[in-house]
């Protein structure tokens, strides 16, 4: 096992996301990428911003930008917390950033992906499509294969764990909500 990838996160957005909570769930879900608000020399920097990008993330050099402007609405629709939404967007970006670090000949068009398979890595969407894609929490086999072929076995395994973790949290909350609703129903 190699050392974890150091990922420094900063919230430049007005979203209700709590950075310490985001780091906690990111590091609980997987161990390959270490999230913290501070690193002396981070390998990746994640910035949560208020811009209206239609993508879940954008990568430039060692900076992953995650747009949070529609996060509240998307979270309400998909039943995710802002931290889980931030974790998903940032982790997808970190995987792509690692691919670029390991493979300097990669170009932006190598990451092009049409929206039809509802994969989290698909590009060029409207806000509604982002919500639909996040609701499904799915990464297609060809994306996993693409990143594995680029030497990112550990990143793809970590991404699967992140997706499983977020899905598990969402199911757990919905079961709690249901049992609470049932409890109230029985009392009345
Ligand atoms: Zn895909």
CA distances (Å), 74 to each of 14, 77, 84, 175, 185, in order? 15, 5, 11, 20, 29
pLDDT at residue 115, rounded to an integer: 66
Residue-level pLDDT at 81:
96
CA gap 44, 161 in Å, rounded: 19
pLDDT tens digits for 77-106? 999 999 999 999 999 999 999 999 999 899
Q: What is the DSSP letter of 138?
A: -
Ligand 1 centroid, distance to 121 Cα (angstroms)? 5
Hey, which bits of 1-159 come out as E strands? 5-11, 33-36, 44-49, 58-60, 63-67
Domains and CATH numbers, the chain: 5-159 (3.40.390)
The rounded distance, in Å, linking the Cα atoms of 139 and 39 is: 29
- Residue 181 alpha carbon to ligand 1 centre in Å: 37
Alpha carbon of 117 to ligand 1 centroid (Å): 7
What percent of the chain stands above pLDDT 70? Answer: 93
**Gyration radius (Cα) of the chain, Å:** 17
First to last CA, the chain: 55
**Confidence class for position 113, pLDDT limits 50, 70, 90:** confident
**Could you tell me the pLDDT band of residue 118, with boundaries at 50, 70 and 90?**
confident
pLDDT the model gives residue 61: 92
- Judge whether residue 185 has pLDDT over 70: no
């Amino acid at each position: 096992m190699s050392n974890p990838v150091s990922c420094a996160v900063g919230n430049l957005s007005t979203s209700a996301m709590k950075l310490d909570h985001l780091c906690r769930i990111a590091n609980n879900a997987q161990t390959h990428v270490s999230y913290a608000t501070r690193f002396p020399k981070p390998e990746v920097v994640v910035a949560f911003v208020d811009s209206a990008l239609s993508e879940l993330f954008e990568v430039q050099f060692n900076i992953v930008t995650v747009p949070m402007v529609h996060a509240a609405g998307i979270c309400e629709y998909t039943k995710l917390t802002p931290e889980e939404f931030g974790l998903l967007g940032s982790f997808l970006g970190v995987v792509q950033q690692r691919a670029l670090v390991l493979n300097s000949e990669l170009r932006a068009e190598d990451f092009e992906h049409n929206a039809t398979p509802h994969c989290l890595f698909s590009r060029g969407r409207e806000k509604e499509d982002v919500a639909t894609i996040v609701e499904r929490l799915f990464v297609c086999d060809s994306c996993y294969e693409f990143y594995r072929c680029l030497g990112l076995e550990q990143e793809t395994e970590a991404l699967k764990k992140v997706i499983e973790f977020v899905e598990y949290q969402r199911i757990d909350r919905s079961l709690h909500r249901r049992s609470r609703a049932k409890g109230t129903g029985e009392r009345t």
